[in-house]
Structure 1
Amino acid sequence: METTHYDAHHATFSLPSQLRDRTMHMFVLKDDGPSDFSFVVSHADTQGEEDLAEFSDRLIKEMSRALPKFLLRSMQERQLDGSPAIELTYSWRNNGIFMHQRQVVVLVQGDIPGSKQAMLMAGTCPNGFSEAWLEAFDHILASVKLRRPLDAQAQLPNPQKPDLPYVFALSERRRLLHAFPDQESACRRTDAREVERSTWEFFDALGQPLQPRFTAPNAEWLYGQPGTYVLEPVRGNDMAPLGARLHLATALEPHEGVPLADMEAVRNLLERG
């Protein structure tokens, strides 16, 4: 049986190669009961040629499905020991308590030559971070020295990023920005008669404008059957992107499946795009 050499903290040993490493390092303040702050280092496999942004997007989707009341509060690029990283700030509900977490994701060399893995470093506080624990987490990150960073070529993002499914719908009259999980949901939940009167503006997840194309017209009488439409990219530069229209909305209404908490989270998403 083929084996792999493994270095642990207190020993080295050989393992069957088909076993997958799910090592996690956890640091807490006390042995029993909840901790005011904990720090966890783990790693996860990337999929195919997944780059840092693509892995982070997939991680967000997985957490939004797995964690109750998950809210992404910010997502920003940063450096970790000179390597590109992404920091996620989010919260979720656990046994009646809102847990708050800052998690930094960086890609490193995998165990197999030429492969890569994601290393995740997460600080967690119940009911929010105090200034002291914010500073402590920042100090930990500043002290990190990566043993197996990717070379510069491997750190480059893929030339084409996958299209996120989210669709934004802006109502200037209501001063409200809706965030839908996908186009089907946006078209189904936005009144077709209002859309025909051009009272809604639509944008994709990168903030690029979308225009409605009706596949069935609205009935002419008031209580008749509403029409149906699809959203298509806008040709040319005749319409402003979402970033130039955000000032028209004072609040965000995220629909189920969209892990964005507020307008600041939308701005962070657009800046990444």
Structure 2
Amino acid sequence: MTEHHINEASFKLPTELKDKTVHMFVTADDGPNEFNVVVTRADVESFETLEHFTQRLINELSESLPAFELLQTFERGFADAPAIELTYKWNNGGIAMHQRQVITLVVSVSAEIRQAIMIAATCPKPFSDHWSKVFDDLLDSVQLRRPASIIENTLEGTSEEMSISGETPSPASVNVEPSCVFSLRLRDRILHVFHTDDEACKSISAIEVEDGLWKFFDAAGDALHPEFIEPNTGKIWRTAGRYLLRPRATHDVDTLHRYLDHVQGVRGTPPMNGIAAIRTYLERSRGSSPITLQESTAG
């Protein structure tokens, strides 16, 4: 048996039983809804990546939904985890139903297995600006308890710590070489700290970079420019290309210092997981000697 939790209680769940919980949120108790949101889970095979699972889901949708038409697929950030969003429509009794669905991978709290979490919004006609914003606001508010990407990194010993203003990491003093690369996600103003530009390029989707969702800065806080060596391809099923980070050809006033007061949190390994430490790092990083930083409160 495993310990199973719901909002109102917890209980021992026999191993023979599987959790197939569906959360449904509607605009009307009776009759048709102009908008609804459904949250579901699905087991993920041990060998499956997020992309593999999404393709399997698309195949299942195309087989089960009449006149299924995939309109768009793209990678996106979602609650600090990789995710894929699908936009599609199908015919339901003569009505063209439109749906947006976001998929990400998590680790089940009770069973310690990887699962896909799917959040789908449905309208009986194309999404209006109002319902698009309602769904976007809902997605922006999501906080995943156990994102698979973070849990798996932790198990491999490569996890990163999150520091937000008001949280105090334990003191530590370490030597840091001035070679960090900073990546600022504009949507939530979370600053990510990478050891090398190669690590940053491999961690951040080329599609999100092309869409202008990130800004990059070198160890001195000067802006870096993404240079694509393989372009993104596709319109419906977008395939990410590859890019490198290059210094700006001319002096750029768009520096990291301009954004630090507006950063909402830092994701990086100690001591580079606080605003104060990063300010000190930027002030000293133009020198060539190793930098000693005292891990401190963010802000």
Query: Structure 2: which 5+ residue stretches go unaligned?
Result: 154-230, 242-299
1:29-178 → structure 2 map (5 Å cutoff)? 29-111=27-109, 115-152=113-150, 154=152
Which residue number corresponds to residue 167 of structure 1?
none
TM-score norm. by structure 1 comes to 0.56
Instruction: Tell me the SS of whatever aligns to 2:239.
Output: helix
Distance 2:111 2:31 in 1: 41
Tell me which amino acid in the other structure corresponds to 2:21.
Answer: T
Instruction: Tell me the SS of whatever aligns to 2:235.
Output: helix
Tell me which amino acid in the other structure corresponds to 2:103.
Answer: V
Which residue number corresponds to residue 26 of structure 2?
28
Matched, 1:6 2:4: yes
Tell me which amino acid in the other structure corresponds to 1:58.
Answer: R
Instruction: Tell me the SS of whatever aligns to 1:271.
Output: coil
Number of residue-to-residue matches in the alignment: 164
- Quickly say closer, same or farther: Cα 1:113–1:7, change in 2 above 3 A: closer
Distance 2:145 2:92 in 1: 34
Please list every run of at least 4 consecutive aligned residues from structure 1 whose deviation after the TM superposition is greater than 4 angstroms: 111-114
- Quickly say closer, same or farther: Cα 1:17–1:30, change in 2 above 3 A: same
Tell me which amino acid in the other structure corresponds to 2:24.
Answer: M
Distance 1:153 1:56 in 2: 20
Distance 2:72 2:240 in 1: 11
- Quickly say closer, same or farther: Cα 1:85–1:65, change in 2 above 3 A: same
Check the 8 A contact 1:76/1:272 in 2, yes or no.
no
Distance 2:98 2:82 in 1: 23
Distance 1:26 1:267 in 2: 31
Please identify, of 61-70 and 9-18, the stretch whose mean Cα deviation from structure 2 is larger. Answer: 9-18
1:210-229 → structure 2 map (5 Å cutoff)? none
Tell me which amino acid in the other structure corresponds to 1:133.
Answer: W
Distance 2:33 2:136 in 1: 18
Query: Structure 1: which 5+ residue stretches go unaligned?
Result: 156-240, 244-265
| 1:187-240 deviation per Cα after TM superposition (whole angstroms, max 9, x unaligned) | xxxxxxxxxxxxxxxxxxxxxxxxxxxxxxxxxxxxxxxxxxxxxxxxxxxxxx
Check the 8 A contact 1:27/1:38 in 2, yes or no.
yes
Check the 8 A contact 1:92/1:100 in 2, yes or no.
yes
Tell me which amino acid in the other structure corresponds to 1:23.
Answer: T
Distance 1:89 1:272 in 2: 18
| 1:131-176 deviation per Cα after TM superposition (whole angstroms, max 9, x unaligned) | 1000100000000100111244848xxxxxxxxxxxxxxxxxxxxx
- Quickly say closer, same or farther: Cα 1:35–1:143, change in 2 above 3 A: same
TM-score norm. by structure 2 comes to 0.52
Check the 8 A contact 2:68/2:88 in 1, yes or no.
yes
| 1:87-115 deviation per Cα after TM superposition (whole angstroms, max 9, x unaligned) | 00000100110100000000001246652
Distance 2:7 2:82 in 1: 27
Pairwise CA RMSD: 2.1
Aligned sequence identity (%) = 45
Tell me which amino acid in the other structure corresponds to 2:32.
Answer: P
Distance 1:96 1:123 in 2: 19
Distance 2:110 2:13 in 1: 14
Distance 2:152 2:54 in 1: 16
